[in-house]
Chains A and B, each alone.
Chain A
Amino acid sequence: MVSKPHGGRLVRKLLSEKTKERILEESKEYQKINIREGTAIDIENIAHGIYSPLEGFLVENEFQSVLDDMRLPNDLPWSIPIVLDVKEKDLKFDVGDEILLYHKNIPIAVMNVDDIYKYDKKEFAQKVFKTTDINHPGVAKVYNMNEYLVGGEIRLLNELPNPFEKYTLRPIETRVLFKERKFETIVAFQTRNVPHLGHEYLQKSALTFVDGLFINPVLGKKKKGDYKDEVILKAYETLFKHYYPKDSAVLATVRYEMRYAGPREAIHHAIMRKNFGCTHFIVGRDHAGVGNYYGPYEAQEIFKNFPDLGITPMFFKEFFYCKKCKGIVNERICPHPMEDREYFSGTKIRNMIANGEIPPEYFMRKEVYETIMSFENPFVEE
């Protein structure tokens, strides 16, 4: 049986066409707020139940509870604050009002304002990211946020244009799909990279123990030098075509803006996949980490605090190629010293590709490499 949604019920905050039309016709009567792309993506994720049980942006007591305890006030695990920040000069509304949220002139959502509050950015950064270092991308983002937070329920009016709609499945769809495929147990793998053999071994090792594998690449805003979304997707498509069992592996994307909050974000990623219906979630080395802010297996250790998460984490040690074993192994099964090991470094593989070098076959499938190279420039430029 697929996992129950977090909190017991799949949230869906979608409006009928008729209601949408009525709201948009009356749009002049609403206060309007411009929001960032990442916030618009959060709204989509709330509206489709990916963030169940959230029905909107956190109000103050929820926000404080998430910061302090990684739980909502009703004790349900929740580790990342999902918030809407607003400039003081835009606060032309009160608690109880309905407002419209826009991104680049697209009306994204209507929101009931339940709370307006100030917050401490330093506390936010320290508790969520375990640092206040401005060089941490998540911290930098918090420090650039507006000074007020507005909490309340949202209802979706429009989604942002999605070039990958064909590959986008929502929780209601994956739940039906898993049921139709007769999967009782499904393991999710989150990725934001093209697949190398280390990923493949990790995914297939996990699939050995369950009925289905759900590969769920995160698409969205990227840093310069990252692989473009279409490259990640095509690379996975190739890998699926040649090396994955069609009946037990599913590839579908999700739009989400990474926070790089390491352990806290690992919990959040697991909750998202629970809402898609997955029963297990792969947590590898330095999940959702950046730089050296988190210990290599800190994102695994944090799961000990959540016996009530409702999705089972599957922990893996880092895979590498061992010249003596002549295969892909990890430190639990390989007795050989470091000098025999070739670690899968995303950066190393990326540099090889950027310099036109072919990665060794024990690093990356030839077909995947060729797919990447079929793009004139596989990397994000700006």
Chain B
Amino acid sequence: MPDERKYTTVSIPIQLYEKIKKRIEGTGFTSVSDYVTYVLREVLASLEEEEKEEVFSEEEEEKVKERLRALGYLD
């Protein structure tokens, strides 16, 4: 699949770009884009982690607990 379908351009201030460029010297990051992608993925994942947790219905949870008790996983 050609690369142009996978990437797009976003703009950041030149000063920030220069700061990042300096920061990634000698690290495993080979470009500012790689670093920005890494950081954004990390930030978005942590925000998603804070979103409300899925809950099972009471009936469903009770059924699960019954099985866990029967198998000896719960007292």
Within 8 A of A (CB), among B37-58: 38-39, 41-42, 44-45, 48-49, 51, 53-54, 56
Asked if B41 and A176 sit within 8 Å, CB to CB, the answer is no
**Is the CB of B24 closer than 8 A to any CB of chain A?**
no
Contacts of A309 in B (CB 8 A): 45
Known: A9-B54, A172-B56, A173-B64. A308 touches B71 (CB 8 A): no
Q: Using CB atoms, name the residue of chain B closest to A166.
A: B71
Contacts of B73 in A (CB 8 A): 169, 173, 177, 250, 252
Q: List 29 A-B contacts (CB under 8 A).
A: A4-B48, A4-B49, A4-B53, A4-B54, A5-B54, A8-B48, A8-B54, A9-B54, A64-B1, A65-B1, A68-B1, A69-B6, A166-B71, A169-B73, A172-B60, A172-B64, A176-B61, A176-B68, A177-B73, A180-B65, A180-B68, A180-B74, A252-B73, A307-B38, A307-B39, A308-B41, A308-B42, A308-B44, A310-B48
**Is the CB of A22 closer than 8 A to any CB of chain B?**
no
- State which size class the interface on A falls in: 20 to 34
Please give me the 6 A-B residue pairs with the lowest Cβ-Cβ distance, nearest first: A308-B45, A307-B42, A308-B41, A176-B64, A307-B41, A173-B64
Question: Residues on A close to B: CB < 8 A?
Answer: 1, 4-5, 8-10, 64-65, 68-69, 75, 166, 169, 172-173, 175-177, 180, 250, 252, 304, 307-310
**Is the CB of B13 closer than 8 A to any CB of chain A?**
no
Cα distance A174–B71 in the bound complex, in angstroms: 12
Residue among A169, A176, A252, A309 with most chain B CB within 10 A:
A176
Asked if A8 and B51 sit within 8 Å, CB to CB, the answer is yes
Cα distance A324–B45 in the bound complex, in angstroms: 45
Cα distance A304–B41 in the bound complex, in angstroms: 12
In the assembled complex, how far is the CB of residue A284 from the closest CB belonging to chain B, in whole angstroms?
22
Within 8 A of A (CB), among B10-52: 28, 38-39, 41-42, 44-45, 48-49, 51
Asked if B45 and A310 sit within 8 Å, CB to CB, the answer is yes
Q: Using CB atoms, name the residue of chain B closest to A175.
A: B56
In the assembled complex, how far is the CB of residue B71 from the closest CB belonging to chain A, in whole angstroms?
6
Contacts of A1 in B (CB 8 A): 53
In the assembled complex, how far is the CB of residue A289 from the closest CB belonging to chain B, in whole angstroms?
22
Contacts of A69 in B (CB 8 A): 6
Residue among A64, A308, A309 with most chain B CB within 10 A:
A308
Known A176-B64, A308-B41; further 13 A-B contacts with Cβ < 8 A: A8-B48, A8-B54, A65-B1, A69-B6, A166-B71, A169-B68, A172-B56, A173-B67, A175-B56, A176-B68, A177-B73, A307-B39, A307-B45
In the assembled complex, how far is the CB of residue B75 from the closest CB belonging to chain A, in whole angstroms?
9
Contacts of B1 in A (CB 8 A): 64-65, 68
Residue among B28, B49, B60, B73 with most chain A CB within 10 A:
B73
Contacts of A180 in B (CB 8 A): 65, 68, 74
Cα distance A58–B44 in the bound complex, in angstroms: 25
Residue among B42, B44, B60, B64 with most chain A CB within 10 A:
B64
Q: Using CB atoms, name the residue of chain B closest to A250.
A: B73
Asked if B64 and A75 sit within 8 Å, CB to CB, the answer is no
In the assembled complex, how far is the CB of residue B43 from the closest CB belonging to chain A, in whole angstroms?
9
Of B39, B41, B54, the contact of A75 (CB 8 Å cutoff):
B41
